[in-house]
Amino acid sequence: MKTMKKGVYRLNNGDTIKMTGVDYWGRELFDLEEDGKKHRFAMVDGRLHTITSDGEPDCPLKEEYQLDREDLERKREERVRHEVDWSESMEYKGHTLYRVRAVKDMPELGLKKGDRGGWIEDPSKVDTSVWIGDET
């Protein structure tokens, strides 16, 4: 299967769609060009949705217009910026906190893969696509 470039993903119907940004609420936005027209969609819980005139996600697209399973996984991997280092923890005001580490180079933040970041209590409540600074 052909490897797509970063930010471009394959749909189940074979078309390609491009991630073009993020809205104010952190939802990824995608553009699909079809028959000379550009259509914008939002990703909600791993599924593409139409967008209302005021920018809110509306209806999920049919399965044929959803991201191919392999490309959906690739998109998730591209976004991941940190992982929890379970071997490094500390107690703070009765809570156990765990250190995060960068999983890839992030030159825009001056970080290299493996650099230590801040502390979190519950990894399930933190989006892995954000970077958590050293004293956070």
Predicted confidence (pLDDT) per residue in 93-135, tens digit:
999 999 988 888 877 778 888 888 889 888 777 777 777 887 6
Please give the tally of structural domains in the chain: 2
Cβ neighbour number for residue 48 with a 10 Å cutoff? 23
What kind and span of H or E run contains 34? strand 28-34
Q: Is 2 a domain residue? A: no
Strand ranges of the sheet holding 57-60, from the earlier edge strand across to the other edge: 8-10, 16-22, 28-34, 37-44, 47-51, 57-60
The rounded distance, in Å, linking the Cα atoms of 101 and 116 is 5
Confidence tier at 1 by pLDDT (50, 70, 90): very low
pLDDT single digits (tens) 25-50: 878 899 998 888 999 999 888 899 99
Shared-domain flag, residues 90 and 68: no
Shared-domain flag, residues 73 and 87: no
The whole domain housing 106 covers 82-125
Q: How far is residue 1 from each of residues 4, 14, 71, measured CA to CA in Å? A: 9, 11, 11
The residues pairing with 119 across neighbouring beta strands, listed in sequence order, are 99
